[in-house]
Chains A and B, each alone.
Chain A
Amino acid sequence: GQQLNQSPQSMFIQEGEDVSMNCTSSSIFNTWLWYKQEPGEGPVLLIALYKAGELTSNGRLTAQFGITRKDSFLNISASIPSDVGIYFCAGPYNQGGKLIFGQGTELSVKP
């Protein structure tokens, strides 16, 4: 079945540094979604990507839909303490809106 491999698993960075994480799939996706989950909360959608090669920004966040349609990247520039959380990539599988999630990247930001 389809799998999403997300890396790195965790990151410990200094405030102000840039962050990059990626997600790869064993098969093609038509949509890539990036979520952030903070402790005690559900995932919140950050960026949605719909077209191969698409580059989309949301404030300091930028995500790209890989040309092969089997990967996606999320970058965070000039990190701040409130960026702390777990970031998940996700994509729809089969039909009917079901999502498969990557393993998550846990981000820690040291002030």
Chain B
Amino acid sequence: SAVISQKPSRDICQRGTSLTIQCQVDSQVTMMFWYRQQPGQSLTLIATANQGSEATYESGFVIDKFPISRPNLTFSTLTVSNMSPEDSSIYLCSALGGPGHGSTEAFFGQGTRLTVV
């Protein structure tokens, strides 16, 4: 089955700075997504990463705060910009349509645990 690797796995950042999280899938996938999981909470979709075009953001999330790139079928980045302590969360990359996974069975990276101080 396809596997997602995320980097970094965790980071502690100063407020006002930005962090870029990388997501690499070991095979081509149809779709890639970014989720946020706030402490003790469930997962909330931030956006769909579209290959070669602007990401599609969910209500409450904007491109200026969470710019996303997806240059090809296996790689995406999420940047958390101008961070504040409220951005402290786990950020998860997800994909659909990879080998070994059903077409509607999203699979996930291990997550990036971000703490903003």
Contacts and interface: CB of A to CB of B under 8 A. Distances in A.
Given A98-B33, A98-B45, A99-B45, A41 B111 contact: yes
B89 to A, nearest CB: 13
A86 to B, nearest CB: 9
Interface residues of A, number: 22
B48 A48 contact: no
A40 B97 CA distance: 24
B110 A102 contact: no
Contacts of A48: 102, 104-105
A97 B43 contact: no
A interface secondary structure, majority: loop
A31 B103 CA distance: 11
B92 interface: yes
Contacts of B107: 44-45
B42 interface: yes
Contacts of B4: 42
Interface in B32-82: 33, 41-45, 48, 56, 58
A98 B104 CA distance: 9
Given A43-B43, A48-B102, A102-B42, A97 B96 contact: yes
Interface in B100-117: 101-102, 104-111, 113
A83 to B, nearest CB: 19
Interface in A37-58: 40-45, 48, 50
Interface of A: 31, 33, 40-45, 48, 50, 88, 90, 92, 96-104
15 contacts: A42-B108, A48-B105, A90-B106, A96-B31, A96-B56, A97-B30, A97-B31, A97-B96, A98-B45, A98-B48, A98-B58, A99-B43, A99-B94, A101-B43, A102-B42
